[in-house]
Structure 1
């Protein structure tokens, strides 16, 4: 068979049908990667609108912009969308699109599994959007703590939409993690050993292994809570013999590694883009890989630092406080390697580099406040205040959104085949950077003044306005 006939046969297998039919039946990694990215950024837009509604309600004391029930739905859906429907799927979309090209293979290991994962994600996200549209969105917070979300205190179907929808999204993430793990370990080009892989592939592999370890506890927890709500089996309801803290352990065993599952792919983007912007090679490739592996390992020993105020033993407090401080070390190794790469080269301020500089400023501030809340006495004071909300946004927006925007600007010409025409990107970066710090730097202060999280109104004399 000559090369042209082979190409036509392969094109018939891997190509997509034209029009909408092709989008719904495609198993091509390029198509599915774009679909993941477009859907994720659509949810990012929805989550951003909800954030604006939250800020509008809290902008003035005694505001009557929305009632308490709608506000509870807004902050629950904002957190849920940003954590589950934007952050992880955006990484999945980028990795699905790029990894076969980086590894020198035609496609991922199980193309139909990729497609199945996308439609699970789209179905779970659609469930939550439909619930929001009809005013029956989940309203128990993005972490859904029992007993508030149990059958006694949340008898409606709001919580059920969250439990079922998020389970589909988690299944989607596990599908992608299986894809990436097998593809990276088994489908590399001949001669590409693990120590010669592009650094982004290493980050994708580490993240995938974390997803495979961290997401099953949340699926277990959501299934148990749904079974409790539907059939009255006592898992989390204390008066029937359950334990509401069991949910917190299951959720945060997923939820704290989740922060690093979000950060590590963004770090992979940074490690890929900085050498190009600095016109040099990456400094400390082996150290960066080792620190990513160490970060993944340590992240599973941190979950109880979300539970310092629940009355756990002092030995437990000491252990998890020490682990929470220790996790700054591998993060610092990566940051210093990136700074060293820029120092070694000659950085140019193209659009991706602006967002990476925004990442450095924002993420380092978020990391410093993270070390603060790792100290138990301080956490007892700041727990459940707006200070924690500000810290979370500094880490996640600084550690994920800025690098992802850098990656989008960096790889968009590859996806679209076009260079950008207008120079609105610089203005957009300035607005994002100033708007973010204007919002969340002040939120640290209002949290230290005592403003609680998840409250829909406050009195004028508090001085929080």
Structure 2
């Protein structure tokens, strides 16, 4: 049977089994369905849309700042407003756009790539989104009241202490990030559990897509990197509100302790942002090179190595604070070594393209643009790993240029490429090729015109975080170019948004696999049904949709109750290493409890900010009672109360058809 015939047989088997499965996977509608859903696809889309809204707001702040700096002695905004704009811009882009947007990709795609029907903890997943949205509302609304964060996204003490910033600005910062940390940590745990326990039978660790590896490594990094940041923010809030002395030298504290705790999170966070973006590129390049990715084991090893090494380089952000020379030598070496895994991935993509037949579709252009700007950002990153250069260029606009090449170039380019790549799967619609090309070239030109001149301005001595500058310092032309580039970049992003919105209304219906992709998400309809897969396949290859045996299994397994799981709202659980079938697990239905729990936390954090401690306790009580309701054991209609239900299927032994329930 040819691949085309196998795909047709799969469609027929999917349609026949889908009618039975769909009865147990209803989709809620209206306001109630919107609030109560635990469908990973709807939650993933919400993450992406909400993060895009925050990106837009932060981008408008950037345009105001660039307008202020277009000419010497600008007077567009006051110094106080400018401080709030640049602080909230950085905080939003790092914490409320990049990671949540990439986690939105993960929420939508991870179960589909793994060949399962949902995340491991669906209600926890919904709770994470509502907490993220509430934390973003908490943070951005502060700008309306003039109390947005105003000490930079890094909030260095003592300037962020109560003595120098007595208003609520830094309380908003510390509490907002603590609030958001609940969502980010929970999402990381959910991704890890899903990837380890809900892979399709046969999807061993050596057959897991690179994007999934990147997301899992990122999730482990989140779990280990966020505690230092959460601790630092809790200590800062206690210092400011209750007079503790964690960061006050006269009280036995240490101002540098903040920098150590912050950057112990902050530098791994660069790779928390970049690694899933690299995973997106590793999904796009093979599809449009028409061949499997080169050196798969090495690229996975490089991804894991990046996650580990990233925890040993944080001090290169502190080379100018007076640390011992020997310590700086070790961290300088580690900062150079961490470039090796990134280089391995770049050579893997180049090798894949060299050995394949490259198709310059719109997603591939974004991937190629990413490679170029990310390499440029990596070169300047190596320069900062050299202690003398770092000390000379610290706090200059050269730093601003570098991290925008790494973070905007390293995250936004793959994100937009990924949106164009998976847009047919997200929406069921195709996009205009011509409009996609316009969006890429405008963004590419605008990005480089905005940020490349900042390198030169920085080398000419322009410091970062300045509200304005005097004429005649040699910075005028470079700032004017950067501002012109910012408006061109904004135009390119507006064209991108318009292209996507137009396709929602006028785009042609998308087939299941418009690009000829290799991974399992392209086996489902566009957009996928609520249950994702009516038949859970057996995976025999790293490239399941390019593999005849895997395609045949869609049809063959349609007769297996173990692979169809048509008797309930169930997913198939498998072993961690070899993905052998174990149990059919009953998943939670739609519920408003995650929304109520997140609302209780919003009340608690807002009341803490305003000093209403009794109201904060009330909000915590709402959260606590929601958890009790969430976790309270109960029998569902048609449930056997956690008993066994045996099915048929190879590889599962006597446990192959058992069924258990999960309350998450």
Global fold match (TM > 0.5) = yes
Q: Counterpart in 1 of 2:430? A: 419
Q: Counterpart in 1 of 2:145? A: 134
CA contact (8 A) 1:61 1:459 kept: yes
Q: Counterpart in 2 of 1:449? A: 460
Q: Counterpart in 1 of 2:205? A: 194
Q: CA RMSD in A?
A: 1.2
Write the distance in 1 (CA, Å) between the matches of 2:17 and 2:61. Answer: 53
Is 1:119 equivalent to 2:126 in the alignment? no
Q: Counterpart in 1 of 2:482? A: none
Matching residue within 310, 313, 325 for 1:314: 325
Write the distance in 1 (CA, Å) between the matches of 2:257 and 2:33. Answer: 45
Q: How does 1:226-305 map to 2 (within 5 A)?
A: 226-305=237-316
TM-superposed CA distance for 1:463, in Å, is: 1.8
Matching residue within 414, 430, 436 for 2:447: 436
Q: Counterpart in 2 of 1:10? A: 24
Structure with greater contact order relative to length (CA < 8 Å, sep ≥ 6): 2
- The structure with the largest helix share of the pair is 1
SS of the residue 1:139 aligns to: coil
Provide the TM-score with structure 2 as the length reference.
0.68
Q: Counterpart in 1 of 2:525? A: none
Write the distance in 2 (CA, Å) between the matches of 1:6 and 1:214. Answer: 44
Provide the TM-score with structure 1 as the length reference.
0.97
Is 1:392 equivalent to 2:406 in the alignment? no
Q: Counterpart in 1 of 2:616? A: none
> What are structure 2's unaligned runs of at least 5 residues?
1-15, 477-664
Write the distance in 2 (CA, Å) between the matches of 1:36 and 1:3. Answer: 31
Q: Counterpart in 2 of 1:147? A: 158
Matching residue within 355, 364, 367 for 1:353: 364
CA contact (8 A) 2:362 2:433 kept: no
CA contact (8 A) 1:352 1:406 kept: yes
CA contact (8 A) 2:420 2:431 kept: no
TM-superposed CA distance for 1:78, in Å, is: 0.6
Write the distance in 1 (CA, Å) between the matches of 2:471 and 2:431. Answer: 48
SS of the residue 2:46 aligns to: helix
Write the distance in 2 (CA, Å) between the matches of 1:52 and 1:178. Answer: 36
**Number of aligned positions between the proteins:** 461
CA contact (8 A) 1:95 1:204 kept: yes
Is 1:383 equivalent to 2:394 in the alignment? yes
CA contact (8 A) 1:203 1:268 kept: yes
Q: How does 1:7-156 map to 2 (within 5 A)?
A: 7-12=21-26, 15=27, 17-156=28-167
Write the distance in 2 (CA, Å) between the matches of 1:33 and 1:23. Answer: 13
Write the distance in 1 (CA, Å) between the matches of 2:289 and 2:158. Answer: 52
Write the distance in 2 (CA, Å) between the matches of 1:383 and 1:198. Answer: 39
TM-superposed CA distance for 1:336, in Å, is: 0.2
Stretches of 4+ aligned residues off by more than 3 angstroms: 2-6
Write the distance in 1 (CA, Å) between the matches of 2:433 and 2:219. Answer: 37
CA contact (8 A) 1:362 1:398 kept: yes
TM-superposed CA distance for 1:169, in Å, is: 1.4
Q: Counterpart in 2 of 1:338? A: 349
Write the distance in 2 (CA, Å) between the matches of 1:4 and 1:48. Answer: 43
SS of the residue 2:472 aligns to: helix
SS of the residue 2:201 aligns to: coil
CA contact (8 A) 1:123 1:165 kept: no
Matching residue within 210, 214, 217 for 2:221: 210
TM-superposed CA distance for 1:167, in Å, is: 1.2
SS of the residue 2:116 aligns to: coil
Write the distance in 2 (CA, Å) between the matches of 1:4 and 1:187. Answer: 20
Greater CA radius of gyration, 1 or 2?
2
Q: Counterpart in 1 of 2:385? A: 374
Write the distance in 1 (CA, Å) between the matches of 2:280 and 2:314. Answer: 26
Write the distance in 1 (CA, Å) between the matches of 2:447 and 2:137. Answer: 28
Is 1:461 equivalent to 2:461 in the alignment? no
CA contact (8 A) 1:199 1:272 kept: yes
> What are structure 1's unaligned runs of at least 5 residues?
none
TM-superposed CA distance for 1:7, in Å, is: 2.4
TM-superposed CA distance for 1:3, in Å, is: 5.7
CA displacement, residues 156-211 of structure 1 (integer Å, 9 cap, x when unaligned): 00111111111111211111100000010111111111111111111111111111
TM-superposed CA distance for 1:422, in Å, is: 6.3
Q: Counterpart in 2 of 1:363? A: 374
